[in-house]
Amino acid sequence: MICKSFIFIRPVMKKIFTTTICLLLLTVAHAQKINEKEAQQFLEKVWGYLKTSDSVSFVNLWLPEDSVWQRIHTPIGGTDYMKSFHWLQDFLFPAIISDAKMEPIEIGNEDGKGNEITAMFNTRLHGRMGFSFHVIKINDNWSARSQPHFIAGMDDTK
């Protein structure tokens, strides 16, 4: 009798344990919101890569800081990220050659892609341009999770 009840309890305990672990992991993964200092550092790093033409470091923004992971994986669409680097660098060329300073960054709402962070630059008298990324935290480091978005517009406040 004891043996039969033990056999029944074992799968139930396994399901409860597995469910609890999954809920904890989802809670920890969802609770990560980027703060202003981290977003500023991430965007300044991207801006530095664009200004120095460091495309390899730019593409590595999509890789978590984990040497084992880096050896066995490459970013999905790695060539697309390289194209994105060149397109973004071409798009931001006026800001790059004028050594434009990054305006205060914007942190958007968290969604299924992560936290959206935006960098903007004044490039002409009333012109503004910039870029944004969705980022998530992996292994205590922020990693890009979408192609960069290009932003251009007029600054009506001047």
Task: Indicate if 40 and 20 belong to the same structural domain.
Answer: no
Task: Indicate if 93 and 118 belong to the same structural domain.
Answer: yes
Task: Indicate if 88 and 144 belong to the same structural domain.
Answer: yes
d(CA 47, CA 155): 21
Q: Domain span at residue 22? A: 1-31
pLDDT at res. 13: 65
Query: Could you tell me if 42 and 117 are in contact, meaning their C-beta atoms sit under 8 angstroms apart?
Result: yes
DSSP 8-state code for residue 145: -
Give the chain's length: 158
Q: What number of other Cβ atoms are within 10 A of residue 152's Cβ?
A: 12
Task: Indicate if 134 and 122 belong to the same structural domain.
Answer: yes
pLDDT at res. 89: 92
Task: Indicate if 42 and 118 belong to the same structural domain.
Answer: yes
Task: Indicate if 26 and 40 belong to the same structural domain.
Answer: no
pLDDT tens figures, 45-81: 999 999 999 988 888 887 655 444 444 445 554 567 7
pLDDT tens figures, 87-136: 999 999 988 998 888 888 899 888 877 889 999 998 776 678 899 988 88
d(CA 99, CA 84): 21
d(CA 127, CA 104): 16
Task: Indicate if 62 and 125 belong to the same structural domain.
Answer: yes
CA distances from 132 to 10, 67, 102 (A): 49, 27, 12
Query: How many domains does the chain contain in total?
Result: 2
Task: Indicate if 74 and 20 belong to the same structural domain.
Answer: no
Tokens of 14: 């396994």
Query: Could you tell me if 142 and 110 are in contact, meaning their C-beta atoms sit under 8 angstroms apart?
Result: no
* Domain of residue 73, CATH code: 3.10.450
pLDDT tens figures, 4-36: 554 556 666 677 666 666 555 554 445 478 899
Task: Indicate if 16 and 45 belong to the same structural domain.
Answer: no
**Looking at the predicted structure, is the pLDDT value of residue 154 above 50?**
yes
Task: Indicate if 72 and 143 belong to the same structural domain.
Answer: yes
